[in-house]
Copies of this chain bind each other. A is one copy, B any other.
């Protein structure tokens, strides 16, 4: 077991970030128990600190806590991943429409550049690079939309579904189908067409939902 995490900065707020990172990076696998004393030793913090961190991560949907039974990494099922994507479909279309209304000239250049880099990444077969640009695009659209409430909800949901998202990005052929969808969103936003941008976002997320179901069907061919 690596002890790389036993660093300085026992801090207060850093513990939540550390545990969150460990979860989204896959270091802590779903359903793994998170014993307060263990985490307290692993990071330099006291038990009360990790306890506070676990409470915070619980409300973020990353960990599950039950009375007197401790915490564990929350496992999101396929059904939940689909639900999350449905909510994303609604909120990302809202943000896309808002962004199309408010975008500035400088931001247009930014989005266009992101789009070009995504095209290059796909052309070059750089899957992980494309995945990173993907995240940056969605985040930037949220920021441009200035819909703070929706952005916050979407950020929380992203943390919960990051595992499914990653599995999806690794599917062969997936980037080739998602790239044009992303470019359509960019085009609509940059052209100041809210309705078109919202529709493009809906189409993209519908595609994500289909891919999620397809990926699952491939793993478990028939109902086990």
Are A87 and B83 in contact, with the CB atoms below 8 A?
A: no
The answer to whether A150 has its CB under 8 Å from any CB of chain B is yes
Are A91 and B80 in contact, with the CB atoms below 8 A?
A: no
Partner of A150, one of B56, B60, B86: B86
**Smallest distance from the beta carbon of A127 to chain B beta carbons, Å?**
27
Question: Which DSSP category, helix, strand, loop or mixed, fits chain A's interface?
Answer: helix
The answer to whether A6 has its CB under 8 Å from any CB of chain B is no
The answer to whether A183 has its CB under 8 Å from any CB of chain B is no
By the criterion of a CB under 8 Å from any partner CB, how many residues of chain A are at the interface? 24
Partner of A83, one of B13, B86, B150: B150
**Chain A 49-77: CB-based contact to B (< 8 A → 1; otherwise 0):** 00110011001100000010000000000
A51, A60, A149, most chain B CB atoms within 10 A: A149
Q: How far is the CA of A185 from the CA of B47 in the complex (A)?
A: 49
- Determine the chain B residues whose CB is within 8 A of the CB of A157 once the complex forms: 149
- Determine the chain B residues whose CB is within 8 A of the CB of A153 once the complex forms: 87, 153
Partner of A60, one of B48, B59, B87: B59
Across the A-B interface, give the 6 residue pairs with the lowest CB-CB distance, nearest first: A59-B59, A90-B90, A83-B149, A87-B150, A87-B149, A55-B55
